[in-house]
Amino acid sequence: MPELRSNFTPGTTPWAVRRAQWRALGIPDADMDKPKIAVVNTSSELSSCFSHLDELAAVVKEGVRAAGGLPFEIRTTAPSDFVTNAGRQARYLLATRDLLVNDIEVVVEGALLDGMVCLSSCDKTTPGHLMAAARLNVPTIVVTGGYQDHGIHRDEPVDIEDVFESVGAVSDGRLSVDELRRMCDVAVCGPGVCAGMGTANTMHVAAEALGMTLPGASLIPARGERVRSLAHAAGERIVGLVEEDLRPRDVMTEGAFANAVRTCLAVCGSVNALRHLQGVATEAENGVDVYALYEKWSRQIPLLTAVRPNGPIRVDELDRAGGTRAVMKGLERWQDPAARTVSGRTAGELLAETAVADPAVVGTVDEPHAPAPTLLLLYGSLAREGGIMKRGAAGGELRFRGPARVFDTQDGAMEAIRDRRIGSGDVVVLRGLGPQGGPGVASASWFVAAIHGAGLGEDIAVVTDGQLSGLNHGVVVGQVCPEAAVGGLIGLVEDGDEITIDTATATVDLLVPDAEVERRRAAWKPPEPTSERGWLAIYQRLVRPLSEGAVIVPRRPGDEPSARPVVPGGS
């Protein structure tokens, strides 16, 4: 066992005052020098996404004690994408990821604990935990909390994705509010994350592919013996990790990030994984450019499994076929076998004992479900530092050209779709929603879901600097960077301007003459500071661009933004 930072010198003030506190908690003398493990429980009573984590935290603690450690449950702020999104146009969601990172830092570094087991569930919690692990670099295992059961409505399966997209059908009168209410009442049948390949499940996959979970931890049901046994095993294993001094930055190397990016592409995971993984890399200070990894691999990695919303497969079918490990097996020839994992074994060793249980559910690079690309980074005059589009199983190239319809709020766009002021062929520009403009990255996801619900998902394009849900799909370019609030061209678009989106050239361009763009740029003024106070005001002052993961890590002198590729196409 290495010398533990948590064992203070007897007779010093930190030793004395902490001992007094802990003796009052009933901690026996014999436990005082054991490895002290934070069991990070990111949950609350606000959402079913994490309503089971209190129970799992108790199981992790049993495992820690069994292995000779001393566990302390730590509670953090707990965002839920479908509950915490109601206020301030969902601006708290991404900003809360970073609040969570700092929350963990304060507790773990303040108390000088030796390791962490992080209980992750909803969309922002897994990236928040990975970012905290990368920043603090204390031995860490992520325990992903599993997916929720879906329900049955009118003899058909119904899940949260059906609910999410049905709002559009209510807007245009094809579905009654009563019918939607009945769907809501049965769609989620237990704790755990949204059942499709949305952001939560994608980030669970990414955490396992990065090597930060125990093998087989992602894409499992939130209820049952497997999740409990993995939680117990994580509690036991973390004590070994502390003894071995295996730290997150030893695990999350460039090879591990490449494994994670390839796996996320193979499942056509949420577009949000791009910024989250970049945020983890930025926190790890390892120089890994996740955008470059996506760019490099997106044209090569095909779709190996088509879980909803990418295709008809349900996540429980993928689980039965072998889950994340099976997908990694299908990619085996591309994977970095030397990448280490928190299990103590390498990715290659784990893949050697993995089999794909159902090739109809999980394909291989040679026999995929659909050709590459599943996700595509686009550049061009409207996204000089990148934007991202989900292609899923759509296949083939796509070229969309149409007139811009510009909105500065999602509510304005929702109203326009309800009033039928947006129609087939339009390119809706939703802007001013980025990290600084929001502030905090406002959501464009309800609008995108609503146009799908209205049956216009393939007929209307969307270009936005706001955030999307992992369940969104269609002709949508999200996370456009630079954002409008910092002078990005998206802020100069006017109604009626022609915009092109071309997957063959991976570009998104504004077709306006240079002279006119210059005229608008000369007249452009940065937006007035918002009236935000509190956490969003702090976030606005510190946040870096989406292309750097939208982290709130203040720059040091000489710590300049990385240069992103600029595609000169379009004007």
Residue 193 within binding range of ligand FES, rule CB under 6 A: yes
Strand, coil or helix: 399: strand
CA distance 389 to 279: 19
Residue 206 within binding range of ligand FES, rule CB under 6 A: no
Residue 162 within binding range of ligand FES, rule CB under 6 A: no
Residue 194 within binding range of ligand FES, rule CB under 6 A: yes
Contact stretch for ligand FES (CB under 6 A) within 3-11, 193-201, 205-213, 281-289: 193-201
Residue 203 within binding range of ligand FES, rule CB under 6 A: no
Q: Where are the beta strands (DSSP E) in 53-126?
A: 70-75, 115-120
CA distance 339 to 341: 7
**469 is an active site residue:** yes
Q: Distances from the Cα of 216 to the Cαs of 60, 153, 229, 394, in angstroms?
A: 17, 31, 11, 29
Complex with ligand FES: residue 193 or 242, whichever CB lies closer: 193
CA distance 350 to 211: 10
Residue 82 within binding range of ligand FES, rule CB under 6 A: yes
Residue 200 within binding range of ligand FES, rule CB under 6 A: yes
CA dihedral 155, 160, 164, 169 (to 10 degrees): 0
Q: Residue 140 in contact with residue 117, Cβ under 8 Å?
A: yes
For residue 48, the minimal CB distance to ligand FES (Å) is: 8
- Of 49, 288, 69, nearest in space to 192 by CA: 49
For residue 540, the minimal CB distance to ligand FES (Å) is: 24
Complex with ligand FES: residue 123 or 426, whichever CB lies closer: 123
**55 Cβ partners below 8 Å, 6+ apart?**
none
Residue 122 within binding range of ligand FES, rule CB under 6 A: yes
3-class SS shares of the chain: helix, strand, coil, % to 5:
40, 15, 45
Residue 37 within binding range of ligand FES, rule CB under 6 A: no
**Identified binder of ligand FES from the candidate list 37, 49, 485, 490, rule CB under 6 A:** 49
For residue 459, the minimal CB distance to ligand FES (Å) is: 27
Contact stretch for ligand FES (CB under 6 A) within 78-86, 88-96, 280-288, 387-395: 78-86
* Total residues interacting with ligand FES, rule: CB under 6 A: 10
Q: Is 179 exposed, middle or buried (0-12, 13-18, 19+ CB in 10 A)?
A: middle
Please count the other Cβ atoms lying within 10 Å of the Cβ belonging to residue 332. Answer: 15
Contact stretch for ligand FES (CB under 6 A) within 100-108, 181-189, 192-200, 436-444: 192-200
At 183, which helix (H) or strand (E)? helix 177-187
Complex with ligand FES: residue 75 or 520, whichever CB lies closer: 75
Complex with ligand FES: residue 198 or 240, whichever CB lies closer: 198
Structure tokens at 5: 């930072």
For residue 318, the minimal CB distance to ligand FES (Å) is: 16
Structure tokens at 153: 């409505």
For residue 492, the minimal CB distance to ligand FES (Å) is: 34
CA distance 335 to 420: 48
Residue 236 within binding range of ligand FES, rule CB under 6 A: no
Residue 301 within binding range of ligand FES, rule CB under 6 A: no
Q: Residue 135 in contact with residue 40, Cβ under 8 Å?
A: no
What is the identity of the amino acid at 154? Answer: R
Residue 123 within binding range of ligand FES, rule CB under 6 A: yes
Strand, coil or helix: 526: coil
**Residues 47, 270, 469, 547: which is the catalytic one?**
469
Complex with ligand FES: residue 190 or 487, whichever CB lies closer: 190
Contact stretch for ligand FES (CB under 6 A) within 80-88, 205-213, 479-487, 554-562: 80-88
Complex with ligand FES: residue 194 or 461, whichever CB lies closer: 194
Structure tokens at 19: 């001992």
Q: How many CA within 13 A on the CB side of residue 67? A: 23
Please count the other Cβ atoms lying within 10 Å of the Cβ belonging to residue 98. Answer: 28
Residue 242 within binding range of ligand FES, rule CB under 6 A: no
Q: How many CA within 13 A on the CB side of residue 450? A: 24
Contact stretch for ligand FES (CB under 6 A) within 7-15, 101-109, 191-199, 275-283: 191-199
Eight-state DSSP code of residue 147 = B
Complex with ligand FES: residue 43 or 547, whichever CB lies closer: 43
Contact stretch for ligand FES (CB under 6 A) within 190-198, 339-347, 480-488, 518-526: 190-198
For residue 49, the minimal CB distance to ligand FES (Å) is: 3
Complex with ligand FES: residue 188 or 404, whichever CB lies closer: 188
Residue 80 within binding range of ligand FES, rule CB under 6 A: yes
CA dihedral 134, 135, 138, 144 (to 10 degrees): -50
Which residues of this chain interact with ligand FES, rule CB under 6 A? Answer: 49, 80-82, 122-123, 193-194, 198, 200
Catalytic residue positions, numbered: 469
